[in-house]
Each structure stands twice: as structure tokens, then as C-alpha cells.
Amino acid sequence: MPDVERVSTTRRKFLIGTGVMTTGVIAGLAGGFHNYHWEEPSAYQAWTQIEKGGLTDLEYIVQCGTLAANAHNTQPWSFSIQGLRIVLFADLNRNIGRADPRRRLMLMSIGCAAENMVVAAGQLGYAVRIDDAGSATFPVDGGRCVVLELSRSSDSGRHPWFPALFRRRTTRAPFAPLPMPYRDFAAQLGNLSDLPGIQLRWHETNLERAAIIKAVNVSVRGFVEDEGAYHDGMAWFRRSRSEWEQRRDGISIFGGDASLLVKEWVDLFASEDDLLSPAFRQGEVDVAQRLAETTPLWIMVRADMDTPGAWFRAGRMIERIYLAATAEGYAVQPITYPTESSAGLAELTRAFGLESRSVPLMLLRVGRAAIPSPSPRRELASVLL
Ligand SMILES: Cc1cc2nc3c(=O)[nH]c(=O)nc-3n(C[C@H](O)[C@H](O)[C@H](O)COP(=O)(O)O)c2cc1C
């Protein structure tokens, strides 16, 4: 085989093995999360700050908010502290473009941050009232979305999910089944009456799982063929570890469970063209399929209406699922493809007989897996207005 051909065959193999899922997923080959070393420890500092240290109460609550799950690790937020009130702004520039044309994922991400802040506030002895009216107008109102009004409820508090804020991760790996019935886990999520219009459905039978695998399959194929969405998603992909840690945002292969060899190869050799290549896209399809197939339990977050307020509340729900799962030692991964694509939605609607007043907003995989390393976060000073 000529040298050039040999090189490109090897390249193709690596790219397929990499399996970067561009709605925020980087999964990969079996292996463990054994091999991370940090070049920029400051990018992970907030994950270790389990006490407020030199920060004020409200600064600390904001910092805990920044540890939330968020689409593509765009961290699309900024915060204004005004007395006992925290205003959450969507940072409109930190978007995924054609992969999130209605800014639905952006608003869910803001919901995730708000939920973390409620937990941190509870830990510090504050009750929180949330006004989410701004979620309907934020794109034309400078990003102003949501207001958290804090009030002292006790001198010292405790929130059962507080330790989970720091251990929560998105886990992109095959999952083993839960050791107990999911109903026990569902009970951890408690009463959802403060999230009106949001419902959860739990899917674990073979028939249900097969339907979701099919929805993932058709939607991921559609996504990698959609040039606009694919390009805008890949804009948040960080090829080298140093780029990821210096920018302190975006998605990369380094927190996933790909083999050390694949990580090293991407770090050293992957080019921008590689990311857009058919092989890379095929890797994404393969990984999505493989992860969907190794999912013992799915949670579907649904809403009565497809409105910005529902997207924000769905985000809060997503973060609750993460935190409850983390507290129980379970792994979670949202999979955005099916609910963001018309082909995926059609498949879900058909399989689950959904009515028009039941909008699937997110699917999450739940199971057991090793805990991955954390993803970087921007520093607090850069998100405070
Ligand atoms: C609205 C939303 C959509 C997401 N979609 C996906 C997805 O499709 N695939 C995935 O692997 N992760 C997804 N994530 C997880 C993010 O990529 C992840 O939270 C982010 O990269 C930060 O990493 P961390 O959760 O480990 O802190 C999503 C998160 C949110 C809030």
C-alpha cells in the first residue's frame, strides 16, 4: 500500500474510533478514565471548592451555578448580584448556532445553573424564590432571563444534594444496570410541583429501549448530514487538551473514556478538516448507537407546552436528575439528538403514542459507570457582571 494511503487509512480508523458526539458528547472506546492529567489546574478549581472560602455567600452560590451541566459546555451565562438578588443572563454570544436555532438548549442550560444555585443557597441557609418571566423575552432583552430572590431561612442550612454539585459529571460510556429498581431512584426526585408543566417518564423495557435506540439512530444520522448544525456544533470542539483548558469551555475527547492512544492521537494530530470528515461523522453515529444500546434506563423529560418557560424548568429538572443520580452513585448522560430533530421526534411520538400536549424535551441515559474527570469551567470573575 502506498504510504499516503496507509496514513489516511490509519487516520480514518482513529477518527471513527474517536466518536465525538457533537451535541456535547464525546464518548469512545472502552477503557477507564484513568489517564487524565491537568495542564491548567485552575480550570478545575471550582470543582474542589466545597467551602466558600474568601467568597461572599452570593458569589459562592453563583460559582456553584457555574458547575452545572450545560449544552456543549458553552457555559452560556453571566450573573449580576444585586443585594440578595441574583439575575441570570444568557450570554447570547455563547451559542451553538444552527444546532440550537431557538436557543432551547441555551435556556435549559440556564435552568441547570439555577437549580445548582438553589441547592447551594439551601446549603448556606437561604430560601430561593425564582421569577422566570424573562425567559420568554431574553433574546431581545440583553439575555436577561431569570431572577433568584434569596431570603435567609436559617443560620446554617444543609442540602442533601450539596456534595453532589462537586461530583456531578456527564458520563459518556457504556452503562451497567442499576442495582435496585428505578422507582427507588425516582423517589429521590421528590415532589415536582414547583416545576409546573414538566413530567418525567421512565423507560426500561426492551420495547421502549428499542424505540429510543431507533430514535437516536435516525436523529444522529440526520444531524451529521446537516452541514449547518454540524459545523456550528463542532465550533465548540477543542482538539487539544491545552486549548480546552486555556479556553475553559467546549467539549473534547479528554474527559471521555476513549483509550489513551486515541486521546494522544487527537491531541497531537487531528486537524480541523478531520473534524468535518465523513469518518469523524461516522464515528459519531457509531458511538451514539453503541451508547444507546448500552443504556439500562432512559428518562424522558416532557412538557405540556413547547415554551421558553418550560425549557427553563426542564433544565432545572435535568440538573435534579443529575444530582439525584450522583448522590446515588449513578451515571447520567443527556442525549439531545432525538428531541432536537423532527425525525427523532416523529419516532418517539409514534413509539410512545405522544399527544400534541406532551412535548419530549430531553432524553437522559442512566446507569452505572466509572466517574469521569471534570470538564473545565471559566473563572468566576469572568461570569460576574
Ligand atoms: C441542555 C443540555 C443538552 C446536552 N446534550 C448533551 C448530549 O447530547 N450529549 C452529551 O454527551 N452531553 C450532553 N449534555 C451534557 C453537556 O455536554 C455537559 O454538561 C458539558 O459538556 C459539561 O460537562 P459536565 O456535565 O461533565 O460538567 C447536555 C447538557 C445540557 C444541559
Dist CA 232 CA 340 (whole Å): 15
Instruction: Give the residue whose CA is nearest to atom 19 of ligand 1.
Output: 69
User: Given this model, what pLDDT does residue 28 score?
Assistant: 34
Dist CA 319 CA 308 (whole Å): 17
User: Given this model, what pLDDT does residue 30 score?
Assistant: 30
Dist CA 115 CA 126 (whole Å): 14
* pLDDT, tens digit, 9 for 90 and up, residues 329-366: 999 999 999 999 999 999 999 999 888 789 999 999 99
Dist CA 125 CA 154 (whole Å): 5
Dist CA 334 CA 22 (whole Å): 12
Ligand 1 center–CA 82 separation, angstroms: 29
Label residue 232 left, alpha or beta by phi (over 0 means left) and psi (-120 to 50 means alpha).
alpha
Residue among 70, 230, 339 whose CB has most ligand 1 atoms within 8 A, to mutate: 70
Q: For residue 118, what are the contacts with CB-CB under 8 A and spacing of at least 6? A: 128, 130, 148, 316
Dist CA 258 CA 255 (whole Å): 9
- Which residue type occupies 82? Q
* pLDDT, tens digit, 9 for 90 and up, residues 218-261: 999 999 999 999 999 999 999 888 899 999 999 988 877 677 77
Name the strand (E) or helix (H) holding 80: strand 77-82
DSSP letter for each residue of 295-306: -SEEEEEEESS-
- Which residue type occupies 111? G
Ligand 1 center–CA 103 separation, angstroms: 15
Ligand 1 center–CA 23 separation, angstroms: 8
Secondary structure class of 79 (helix, strand, coil): strand
| Residues flanking ligand 1, CB < 6 Å | 21, 23-25, 69-73, 105, 108-109, 112, 169-170, 172, 251, 318, 333-336, 375
Dist CA 18 CA 256 (whole Å): 10
DSSP letter for each residue of 148-216: EEEEE--SS---TTHHHHHH-----S--BPPSS-HHHHHHHT---TTSTTEEEEEE-SHHHHHHHHHHH
Ligand 1 center–CA 97 separation, angstroms: 16
pLDDT tens for the chain, 385 residues long, are 444 444 466 666 666 655 544 433 333 333 333 345 667 889 999 999 999 999 999 999 999 999 999 999 999 999 999 999 999 999 999 999 999 999 999 999 999 999 999 999 999 999 999 999 999 999 999 999 999 999 998 877 789 999 999 999 999 999 999 988 888 888 888 778 889 999 999 999 999 999 999 999 999 999 999 999 999 999 999 988 889 999 999 998 887 767 777 788 888 888 888 888 998 899 889 989 999 999 999 999 999 999 999 999 999 999 999 999 999 999 999 999 999 999 999 999 999 988 878 999 999 999 999 988 899 999 999 999 9
98 forms beta bridges with none
Ligand 1 center–CA 239 separation, angstroms: 17
For residues 158 and 348, is the Cβ–Cβ distance under 8 A?
no
User: Given this model, what pLDDT does residue 13 score?
Assistant: 62
Q: For residue 238, what are the contacts with CB-CB under 8 A and spacing of at least 6? A: 244, 247, 250, 251, 252
